[in-house]
Amino acid sequence: VKFVYDFTEGNKDLKDLLGGKGANLAEMTNLGLPVPPGFTITTEACKVYLDSGDEPAALRDEVTAHLDALEAKMGKKLGQADDPLLVSVRSGAKFSMPGMMDTVLNIGLSDKSVQGLAKQSGDDRFAWDSYRRLIQMFGKTVLGVDGELFEDALEKAKQAKKVTVDTDLDAAELKKLVTKFKKIVKTEAGRDFPQDSREQMDLAIHAVFDSWNTDRAKLYRRQERIPGDLGTAVNVCSMVFGNLGPDSGTGVAFTRDPASGQQGVYGDYLQNAQGEDVVAGIRNTVPLAELEQLDKKSYDQLMQIMETLETHYKDLCDIEFTIERGQLWMLQTRVGKRTAGAAFRIATQLVDQGLIDEAEALQRVNGAQLAQLMFPRFDEDAKVEQLGRGIAASPGAAVGKAVFDSYTAIKWSRSGEKVILIRRETNPDDLDGMIAAEGILTSRGGKTSHAAVVARGMGKTCVCGAEDLEVDTKRRRLTVNGHVVEEGDVVSIDGSTGKVYLGEVPVVPSPVVEYFEGRMHAGADDADELVKAVHRIMAYADRVRRLRVRANADNAEDALRARRFGAQGIGLCRTEHMFLGERRELVEHLILADTDEERENALKELLPLQKKDFIELFEAMDGLPVTVRLLDPPLHEFLPDITELSVRVALAESRKDHNENDLRLLQAVHRLHEQNPMLGLRGVRLGLVIPGLFTMQVRAIAEAAAERKNAKGDPRAEIMIPLVGTVQELEIVREEAEQVIADVERATGVHLKLALGTMIELPRAALTAGQIAEAAEFFSFGTNDLTQTVWGFSRDDVEASFFTAYLEKGIFGVSPFETIDKDGVGKLVRDAAAAGRATRPDLKLGVCGEHGGDPESVHFFHEVGLDYVSCSPFRIPVARLEAGRAAS
Ligand code: ADP
Ligand code: MG
Ligand code: MG
């Protein structure tokens, strides 16, 4: 195998092998763009290194061969004393992991070659600045020296000279700093800073490999669901210098605004700077547009290149570039991250520009982004006290208590507090705190700062660069125009406008929700651009999707909302909700009944109430299927809590105040008590042991349907039996139900077509689905219970007790209650669907339960050929969108 590729050999489709950065550097090279020459070491080499602890045997020679070629091209040798070739050693995995991996610049400098560089460039200051940067980066990332030590030394040097920015340090001072830095390395790492260039390079390559497995990188991957075994590629790239004086500099740019999708000139530029300076917020950057005044030629060339890249990648790109004495160099590009709103807008803009078609546009957005756009926003009319304003870096409305360090953010959020993490700027060490916080607020850095990039990636609200805010992390407070915000004070931040408020600002629904609710029309002239984009993409998704989308709804109000959101029926109406409130007493009568007569009376009283519920529901869903599930939970859930009741009875006893009803209730609670109610008397089992219960419910459904028909309605009820494990259970219930339906038909003279089916939520049901289909006209996979029973997990307990440990150990990347476990639970669904259809080709198949609204699961259900998914009303647009994406 080949472990090293020259930039001229790769292309953008080799991300698995060359990582995103390497693949795109190759692509730009082959597009003829000005990329400093270099080569990429593959992820395969990294995997061998991580698995075996050593680099593959062939790697060294391959690197040597590519380095030789690079030196020949550049006409100088790595670290050559009189005129050194310098390189950067850069990580680059398949997925971009901002700030996660480590890059070392200026490799090839040593006590000797720094002199050569000074002479060649005619700039002493530049040479020593580059050298001190090398020792600093190398010391920190390769030798593991605490970076603060270098920062402190640099700070002291500046203080001694009474200057505030590092560019004000001259060559002599930087030279002294180099001596200091080398001392730090010696004491901290126990070795000298290596003077041999090849050794520097090899150590840096290994450090990049190793950085794949830092805690920070692991945490980020888990968050973003990036597999842990991909490894990173390593790019060795000849150096270009943005720190060669005022006609040099470095910058970042986007081909359009990653927050709104608007086309234009977006980016930051910093004169006389290298590498990370521009995103680290060390000195103040200028907006990219100002580069036009500073260096018109480079600016024009950059604009040209940005257009080339957009047309080539057919998408928003972000870019890192450096200008060395008036010569522009491209150092990185990739399809850029963007906010959820921008994703929709950019997708439709690109369609309008003829760059992509609608099918492609649908792939450019996803359900998680849509869900994010449905979050509420701050109420613009609310009376608010604005503290200041920063850059709108990642949208959303976040409210929480101010905290000034990650530790506190984590601690407070664990105890249930909402917090806003406030920092001067963030760095990768803040990641845990950023995850814990509702939102992130910084006083420094632009749209491309660490805080902004990471927050956008996580879909977390962020305002950055709010420069009026004086953040004092040591004293844990924030001062702004005379206001002091202490740790624990509530603040609100608006990531869409950049505004920062004191106190809690009330929120209002998002325009996207207003649109789905029908209160805002995409066709209106003044319609929000975002709403127009969402409307177009949803229309396309609806056109191509095969899966139908239904709602889980128990009452008319939810049903109506679900319909507005595009539901094509109800996939799960839970009847237990109809047994709560004031009806509890009737249910108690049912449970306490000693005689058939008492029980029948209780049921008789429940019948009209249930019937009324169903009439309303069928009316709300007129013309669309409504699947009604017969009673599922164990009966004791309708009885008072055992401890409460015991206390009440005991108190009454002590007062010699005898309450017959409470005593009987207590007996019933004891009688019905189960060790494992989840596996106890519930679902179809209730129907089989409590005479008249299911038939009452069936009667209520049938009579309600008949009444709707008489009122010229079009009710489409489907009766669903829960927790069936064997076809015999279903046959008994079915026979009784059919009699009741026939009864109602006779009595009302209305012909009813009521489908009868079952949930598949026990492994045995799935395993015998072929038999069960003989008695069922439809299956609805109850993947919540199926997950519990297949894994043997109690959902109510495991999430708190050991799921975190499981997630940390990577046993699963995401809870199987959130995304369907395709290999286990999913296999049962797939096989049961096939077996059911083999028995009954027109068997209708659906899924109800949380998974019905989960993007990844929706794709799975599409793939195994279900007819519909059912989810909560709010998730319906997400399911529609993902069903469309799955089908296109
Ligand atoms: P990251 O993945 O964190 O962005 P990079 O490998 O892109 O890390 O490098 C860090 C910084 O150093 C970036 O600003 C990049 O543009 C700059 N850089 C990397 N290689 C070179 C080089 N050969 N010449 C000049 N600057 C470089
Ligand atoms: Mg970069
Ligand atoms: Mg269930």
Q: How far is the CA of 246 from the centre of ligand 2 (A)?
A: 22
On the CB side of 732, CA atoms within 13 Å amount to 14
104: alpha, beta or left, given left = phi > 0 and alpha = psi -120 to 50? beta
Residues contacting 100, CB < 8 A, separation 6+: 211, 214, 216, 217, 220, 428
Among the bound ligands, the one closest to the CA of 720: 3
Q: Residue 522 gets which letter from DSSP?
A: T
For a ligand 1 pocket test, name from 41, 88, 100, 448 the mutation site with the most ligand atoms within 8 angstroms of its C-beta. Answer: 88
Ligand 2 center–CA 332 separation, angstroms: 6
Query: Which atom of ligand 1 is found nearest the CA of 97?
Result: 2
Edge-first strand order for the sheet with 391-394 is 385-389, 499-502, 490-494, 397-403, 419-423, 439-442, 461-464, 391-394
Please choose from 328, 331, 337, 450 the residue to mutate so as to test ligand 1's pocket, defined by most ligand atoms within 8 A of CB.
Answer: 331
- Cα 190 to chain center, whole Å? 42
Tokens of 436: 């814990």
In the reported structure, the alpha carbon of residue 81 is separated from the centroid of ligand 3 by a whole-number distance in angstroms of: 74
Q: Which ligand is in closest contact with the Cα of 850?
A: 3
Dist. CA 829 → ligand 1 center (Å): 48
Q: Side-chain half-sphere of 20: how many Cα atoms within 13 Å?
A: 15
Is 826 in contact with 820 (CB distance < 8 Å)? yes
Q: Which atom of ligand 1 is nearest to the CA of 331?
A: 16
As a whole number of angstroms, the distance between CA 884 and CA 864 comes to 15
Name residue 493's beta-bridge partners: 398, 500
DSSP 8-state assignment for residue 504: P
Kindly give the distance from the C-alpha atom of residue 42 to the centroid of ligand 2, in angstroms, as a whole number: 18
Tell me which residue has tokens 């879909």: 459
CA distance 308 to 302: 10
For 655-670, letters b (16+ CB in 10 Å) and e give: eeeeeeebeebbebbe
Classify the C-alpha dihedral 418-423-427-430 as positive or negative.
negative
Pocket test for ligand 1, best of 40, 105, 232 (most atoms within 8 A of CB): 105
Q: How far apart are CA 387 and CA 389, in angstroms?
A: 7
Please name the residue that has the structure tokens 């002479």.
119
300 contacts 326 by C-beta, under 8 angstroms: no
Q: Is 483 a catalytic residue?
A: no
Give the residue, by CA position, lying nearest to ligand 1 atom 18: 275
Atom of ligand 1 nearest to the CA of 87: 23
Name which residue sits closest to atom 14 of ligand 1, judged by CA. Answer: 275
Could you tell me the distance, in angstroms and rounded to a whole number, from the CA of residue 594 to the centre of ligand 2? 76
Write down the residue that tokens 């990531």 correspond to.
495
User: What b/e readout covers 61-92, taking b as 16+ CB neighbours within 10 angstroms?
Assistant: ebbeebbeebeeebebbbbbeeebbbbbbbbb
Judge contact between 252 and 320, C-beta under 8 A.
Answer: yes
* Cα distance between residue 331 and residue 323, in whole Å: 10
How many angstroms separate the CA atoms of 122 and 102, rounded? Answer: 30
**Active-site residue among 848, 851, 859, 871?**
848
DSSP for residue 7: T
CA dihedral of residues 291, 294, 299, 300 (deg, nearest 10): 130
Q: Which residue, chain included where needed, has tokens 């651009």?
A: 529
Is 545-634+674-887 CATH 3.20.80.10? no
Q: What interhelical angle do 693-710 and 596-620 show, nearest 10?
A: 40
Alpha-carbon dihedral sign for residues 217, 219, 221, 223: negative
* CA 267 to ligand 2 center in whole angstroms: 14
Task: Annotate 791-802 with three-state secondary structure.
Answer: HCCCHHHHHHHC
The pTM of the full predicted model, rounded to 2 decimals, is 0.83
The set of residues, in sequence order, having a beta carbon less than 8 Å from that of 310 and lying 6+ positions away, is 255, 256, 316, 317, 355
Check residue 644 and give its pLDDT. 82
Determine the atom of ligand 1 nearest the C-alpha atom of 99.
Answer: 3
Ligand nearest, relative to CA of residue 96: 1
Q: H-helix or E-strand containing 721?
A: strand 716-721
The top-level CATH class assigned to 4-238 is alpha beta
**Whole-number pLDDT of residue 638:** 82
Cα–Cα distance measured from residue 699 to residue 570, given in angstroms and rounded to the nearest whole number: 19
Name the nearest CA neighbour of 513 among 874, 200, 40, 95: 874
> According to the model, what pLDDT value does residue 281 have?
64
**Beta carbons of 402 and 420 less than 8 angstroms apart:** yes
User: Same CATH topology for 4-238 and 249-335?
Assistant: no
Q: Which ligand is nearest to the CA of 141?
A: 1
ipTM here = 0.96
Atom of ligand 1 nearest to the CA of 91: 6
- Ligand 1 binding pocket mutation candidate from 90, 133, 235, 238 (most atoms within 8 A of CB): 90
Coil, helix or strand for 195?
coil
Nearest CA to ligand 1 atom 17: 275
Crossing angle of helices 147-160 and 171-189, rounded to 10° = 150
Ligand nearest 211 Cα, by number? 1
Structure tokens at 564: 């507005």
Query: Which residue minimizes the CA distance to atom 8 of ligand 1?
Result: 103
DSSP secondary structure string, 128-165? HHHHHHHHHHIIIIIT---HHHHHHHHHHHHHHTT-SS
The three-class DSSP label of residue 611 is helix
Pick from 761, 753, 774: nearest CA to 835: 774
Structure tokens at 188: 């901290």
Domain chopping of the chain, boundaries: 4-238, 249-335, 340-371+511-533, 375-508, 545-634+674-887
**40, 97, 103: residue to mutate for ligand 1 pocket, most atoms within 8 A of CB:** 103
- Which residue's alpha carbon is at the smallest distance from atom 6 of ligand 1? 90
pLDDT in tens, 566-590: 999 999 999 987 887 778 888 888 8
Pocket test for ligand 1, best of 95, 216, 237, 320 (most atoms within 8 A of CB): 320
The residue from 66, 450, 636, 851 that is catalytic is: 450
What atom of ligand 1 comes closest to residue 277's alpha carbon? Answer: 14
| pLDDT at residue number 345 | 95
Ligand 1 centroid from CA 698, angstroms: 69
CA angle 435, 225, 399 (to 5 degrees): 25
CA of 824 to the centre of ligand 2 (A): 40
Q: Which residues have CB under 6 Å of ligand 1?
A: 36, 88, 90, 103, 105, 237-240, 275-276, 320, 322, 331-332
Architecture field, domain 375-508: 3-Layer(bba) Sandwich (3.50)
**Active-site residue flag, 521:** no
Nearest by Cα to 437 from 454, 512, 447, 375: 454
- The parts of the chain modelled with pLDDT lower than 50 are none
**For 249-335, which CATH class?**
alpha beta
* Rounded-to-10 torsion of CA 238, 243, 245, 251: 90
Residue 562 · residue 553 · CB < 8 Å: yes
pLDDT at 799: 66
Ligand nearest to the CA of 92: 1
CB 737 within 8 A of CB 630: no
Q: Which two tokens stand for residue 829?
A: 């669904």
Those residues whose C-beta lies under 8 Å from the C-beta of residue 355, and which sit 6 or more positions away, are: 310, 311, 314
> Ligand 1 centroid vs 405 CA: distance in angstroms?
28
State in Å: Cα 221 to ligand 2 middle: 18
Cα(200) to centroid of ligand 2, in Å? 21
Atom of ligand 1 nearest to the CA of 240: 24
Ligand in closest contact with the CA of 237: 1
Compute the distance between CA of residue 881 and CA of residue 538 in angstroms, rounded to an integer. Answer: 6
Instruction: Name 778's bridge partners.
Output: 844
Query: What are the structure tokens assigned to 555, written together?
Result: 């009452």
- The sheet carrying 327-335 orders its strands as 286-287, 263-271, 249-256, 317-324, 327-335
Return d(Cα 749, Cα 710) in angstroms, integer: 10
CA distance 322 to 36: 10
Are 508 and 377 in contact by the 8 Å Cβ rule? The answer is: yes
Q: Which helix (H) or strand (E) holds 424?
A: none
Q: Are strands 548-552 and 868-871 parallel, antiparallel or unpaired?
A: parallel
Task: Give yes or no for a contact between 859 and 539, defined as CB atoms under 8 angstroms apart.
Answer: no
